[in-house]
């Protein structure tokens, strides 16, 4: 297990960790998935350096076995665009809404091309949302 601290989180006054980078919510979309070991998971929110997933408890238990380890082979599919070969680390699994668990993943060893693709996807999603809000 890797004991490195997450560079995207910072301690709050009560000793918990808070994410430094913001995430864009995609929980209302059905076209935002991450594939881990060929299994698709709906993305709850997306950031330049991390994503959040809503998992059923059994899924969270399976994924939770690798918290902190750097894993590879993740594929991100968002709004018809795909980014393959992402390395990631499971940062946390915590209680979510209802029967779901929240799972935070951060990207590691990401090259500038993949980072630019993720940034472009987020910008497009934000533009879509702004247009819907103005209608």
Give me the residues paired with residue 18 across strands: 10
The reported pTM is: 0.76
Domain boundaries along the sequence of the chain: 9-134
Strands (E), 56-131: 70-78, 81-95, 101-108
Q: Which CATH class is domain 9-134?
A: mainly beta
Q: What is the pLDDT of residues 5-60, one digit of tens each?
A: 444 444 444 444 444 557 889 988 899 999 988 889 999 999 999 999 989 988 88
CB-count burial class (<10 Å; 0-12, 13-18, 19+) for 94: exposed
77: left (phi over 0), alpha (psi -120 to 50) or beta: beta
Q: What is the pLDDT of residues 61-89, one digit of tens each?
A: 777 677 888 888 899 999 899 999 999 99
- Measured in whole angstroms, the distance separating CA 124 from the mean position of its chain's CA atoms is 17
């Amino acid at each position: 297990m890797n004991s490195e601290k997450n560079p995207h989180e910072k301690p709050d006054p009560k000793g918990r960790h808070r994410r430094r980078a913001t995430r864009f919510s995609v929980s209302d979309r059905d076209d935002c998935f991450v594939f881990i070991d060929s299994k698709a998971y709906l993305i709850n929110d997306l950031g330049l350096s991390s994503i959040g997933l809503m998992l059923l408890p059994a899924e969270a238990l399976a994924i939770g076995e690798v918290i902190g380890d750097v894993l590879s082979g993740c594929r991100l599919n968002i709004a018809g665009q795909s980014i393959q070969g992402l390395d990631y680390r499971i940062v946390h699994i915590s209680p979510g809404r209802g029967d779901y668990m929240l799972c935070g993943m951060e990207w590691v060893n990401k090259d500038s091309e993949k980072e630019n693709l993720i940034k472009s996807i987020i910008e497009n999603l934000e533009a879509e949302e702004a247009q819907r809000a103005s209608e």
